[in-house]
Structure 1
Amino acid sequence: REKNFLQTLNYTFLCNAHYAFQDDNHLYLVIDIALGGDLRYQLNHAKNNQFSKEAAKFYVATLLLALDYLHGQAILHRDIKPENVLMDAKGYVKLTDLGISWRAPSVEALEECTMSSGTHGYMAPEVYCKKHIHGKASECFSTGVYAHELMLGKRPFPSNVFKGISGTTREDFLKNPSSYGRTLQFSGEDSKIVDAETRDFIIALCDRDPRQRLGHAGVQDIMNHQWFAGFDWEGLKNRTLAPPVVPRSDQANVDTGDCDLMDTFCMAQEELVKLTAEQQAKFEGYEFNTLYVRGRNSVVVGNGAPSDPTENVAVVAGNGAPSDPTENAAA
């Protein structure tokens, strides 16, 4: 699924694919390298596990540009969270992990997704409804959770806050969305950490009613919110706006626990499950080379200027056994 998406996409604020190939035991996907790790790692190592308002603006703005591009390609990302935003060596970030993304037949049909997977705590309430019908507005809700977490170091809702909606029809939910879950409020210390403008921005994104939610008509409405007043969008698109964090180059920007990196990468090869002919057939045609695809010999950056697709790539390998594309995400 992810390879099929990525081979049709190229954008500077996405983690782009460059090659895909396989051997007898593994699938390989060569993607942009992210030496700064993911935003979860950087957030965990920030002071008080929080970013400043200006830093958060940079990361939310980048996410919005990536979502605007994906929505223009009739794709819902569907799993927005700090773990899925990767940082390059210069501090710019890229949205990654299209494992549970959904492509509509057309941009106009983006409101018709019925997939139920996602990550609890980031999923919009309408996704929990019977039939799970949702669209662009669900991405806006997740963006609000993401923004809240970047500045406050925690999500605005517990993971199970909307589970009570399960089994409720979308029609019944929309009659009175405020009766489900709970209203986002900033109280106590939280109200001191973020200003009124920021509170208004996040509350508007996390509105339980997808019809009233900031950005429901498109992420451009979010970009035009007062919270972004004076933000240098062109500088970000052109990558001339300085990132708020430049990752250290003398360390691995990833939490390894007690494991030594050499032990991790040089560990003894575990015995792989032998695939049946039927299982192996599922991987027929798993190959991709960006240099041989018309229009993919350059990566589209924010202002449309090309960049070198061979700059900074990493190889992701996986064994050939079939896997659940929703793994590591809650269904």
Structure 2
Amino acid sequence: SQKVTSTTLKPQGSVASRFESSLKPGDLARKSTQETYTQAGGSSISSSSSQYMSETLSSKSVELASEAKSRQDNLLRSSDAIDAPLMKLSKVSSSEEVVKPVSQPAVNCCDAFPIQASDVDPSKFIKIRVLGKGAMGKVYLVGLKQEEETDPIRLFAMKVVSKEEMVEKNRVQRVMTEREVLASTSHPYIVGMYASFQTNSKLYYCMEYMAGGEFFRMLQRQPGQRISEEAAKFYTAEVILALEYLHHIGFVYRDLKPENVLMRADGHLALADFDLSKQAAPVQPKLVSGKLSLTDRLKGSLALKKSNSKLNMVKLVSQEPVLKGDCKSFVGTAEYLAPEVIEGVKQTAGVDWWTLGILMYEMIYGVTPFRGAEQKDTFANILSKDLKFPSDIPISKEGKDLIKRLLTRDPAKRLGAEEGANEVKNHKWFNGINFALI
């Protein structure tokens, strides 16, 4: 099911069933808490070639950032009108009257969402059933009302948030953060939003309906609650592409776990629930140079003779976004928390690569590696327990190596710390995977 992430410390529903034998009231459970190549022979890359690549790279980065900013501006153009009722809310009427709801489209009117921005309001949709419940509202499966019997049936996931509860529970910023992420993103492995609008007492996010439900539930239905290493490799690759995109436009996810990964009807994944995400300062990719192996030198020398170009001897490297200020927020999910989060030291985008390592482990082994009988035991294990791999479940040495490098406790030495997603995607476990064609 598609659900709203809750930060209530008491586990509920399917989450509770996983830990009912070990968790005590107040445990976090699975709920989220608040709070360079060198050319052969030593010759250098020509300045003109380097400049050309830099300019091309800069142009692409600006283009992507501009696209994200445009989507965000479209949705948030009337932010004062939308946010003011949240910040100044006193008491709302229990009987909701819809009067010209403030609406901003995340996409233009199209076949998938054939409603003009000025016409979007709750009356255009029919509630079918509840997909999930959270601390501040619900997510419904809704259908767009048909004007003609021959009109196609269009289904959406509608997140409905109570303004009053949002203010009372001091979660205005979290809701605004999620809206900002959804407004800024357009990626096949991130849940898309079609429109955002409000009435006197509620906020509405009209999003893609993910017919496959939670990735967590899919795992639970598998023998041993786990999947094969090859299947895990495919899903890991899709998550990496989503994290790479978020980092490139300046967001750190901070709450990766199976419950926050949804599945489309065709089996592909998409990240959801961005209320714990943190905006960071995006950093443009860079060109680096370094030493080539003898084989690569011979290949490179031959390529240069054929193309008379030195451009193919440089490497394009992503750089991780930089979190603003002294970010030490204690947020995430207990079994997925990175050591630096527990220790209360400054965080980096590396927290996402740690959680990727935990997710990989859970997909392959059916459990998380550091889970303890109680919350304090889980935290102690994350900080000091040796990483162990069950001997009865086969896994390649490359797979083990990737998990170990992602679960390096020192964030500065963790895989992805220097070159971001490029570093992770280039790991030998992914040999044979063409990320551009996934």
| Both proteins in one fold, TM over 0.5 | yes
Alpha-carbon offset, residue 232 of structure 1: 2.9
Higher relative contact order (CA 8 A, sep 6+): 1
Cα 1:225/1:106, change in 2 over 3 Å:
closer
For 1:149, which of 350, 359, 362 is the aligned residue?
Answer: 362
Q: How does 1:79-98 map to 2 (within 5 A)?
A: 79-98=255-274
SS at match of 2:186: coil
How many pairs are equivalent? Answer: 220
Cα 1:187/1:92, change in 2 over 3 Å:
closer
- Tell me, in whole angstroms, the C-alpha distance in 2 between the residues paired with 1:3 and 1:54: 34
Which residue identity does 1:72 align to in structure 2? H
Pair 1:181 & 2:384 matched: yes
Structure 1 contact 125–162 (Cα < 8 Å) conserved: no
Identity of aligned residues (%): 32
Aligned to 1:306: none
Cα 1:147/1:73, change in 2 over 3 Å:
same
Structure 1 contact 64–219 (Cα < 8 Å) conserved: yes
- Tell me, in whole angstroms, the C-alpha distance in 2 between the residues paired with 1:109 and 1:235: 29
Alpha-carbon offset, residue 42 of structure 1: 0.6
Which residue identity does 2:217 align to in structure 1? Y
Alpha-carbon offset, residue 164 of structure 1: 4.9
Q: How does 1:131-280 map to 2 (within 5 A)?
A: 132-158=345-371, 160=375, 161=377, 163-164=379-380, 180-189=383-392, 192-217=393-418, 218-236=420-438
TM-score normalized by the length of structure 1: 0.63
Structure 1 contact 214–221 (Cα < 8 Å) conserved: yes
Alpha-carbon offset, residue 53 of structure 1: 1.1
Pair 1:48 & 2:224 matched: yes
Which residue identity does 1:115 align to in structure 2? S
Deviations 1:214-262 (A, max 9, x none): 11121211111011010132221xxxxxxxxxxxxxxxxxxxxxxxxxx
Alpha-carbon offset, residue 21 of structure 1: 1.1
- Tell me, in whole angstroms, the C-alpha distance in 2 between the residues paired with 1:150 and 1:94: 16
- Tell me, in whole angstroms, the C-alpha distance in 1 between the residues paired with 2:385 and 2:348: 21
Structure 1 contact 36–87 (Cα < 8 Å) conserved: yes
SS at match of 2:185: coil
TM-score normalized by the length of structure 2: 0.48
Which residue identity does 1:195 align to in structure 2? S
- Tell me, in whole angstroms, the C-alpha distance in 2 between the residues paired with 1:207 and 1:109: 20
Aligned to 1:77: 253
Alpha-carbon offset, residue 162 of structure 1: 6.1
Structure 1 contact 12–94 (Cα < 8 Å) conserved: yes
Pair 1:8 & 2:184 matched: yes
For 2:202, which of 26, 41, 44 is the aligned residue?
Answer: 26
Bigger Rg over Cα? 2
Structure 1 contact 104–113 (Cα < 8 Å) conserved: no
Pair 1:57 & 2:233 matched: yes
List runs of 5+ in structure 2 lacking aligned partners: 1-176, 284-320
- Tell me, in whole angstroms, the C-alpha distance in 1 between the residues paired with 2:194 and 2:323: 27
- Tell me, in whole angstroms, the C-alpha distance in 1 between the residues paired with 2:417 and 2:194: 33
Aligned to 1:115: 329
Aligned to 2:85: none
- Tell me, in whole angstroms, the C-alpha distance in 1 between the residues paired with 2:388 and 2:400: 9
Structure 1 contact 128–162 (Cα < 8 Å) conserved: no
- Tell me, in whole angstroms, the C-alpha distance in 2 between the residues paired with 1:47 and 1:163: 28
- Tell me, in whole angstroms, the C-alpha distance in 2 between the residues paired with 1:135 and 1:213: 11
- Tell me, in whole angstroms, the C-alpha distance in 1 between the residues paired with 2:390 and 2:181: 42
Please identify which structure carries the higher helix content. 2
Deviations 1:52-93 (A, max 9, x none): 111111111111000000001111000000111111111111
Structure 1 contact 140–214 (Cα < 8 Å) conserved: yes
- Tell me, in whole angstroms, the C-alpha distance in 1 between the residues paired with 2:282 and 2:435: 27
Aligned to 2:343: 129
Which residue identity does 2:330 align to in structure 1? S
Once the two structures are overlaid, the 10-residue window that deviates more, 69-78 or 150-159, is: 150-159
List runs of 5+ in structure 1 lacking aligned partners: 166-177, 237-331
Structure 1 contact 162–181 (Cα < 8 Å) conserved: no
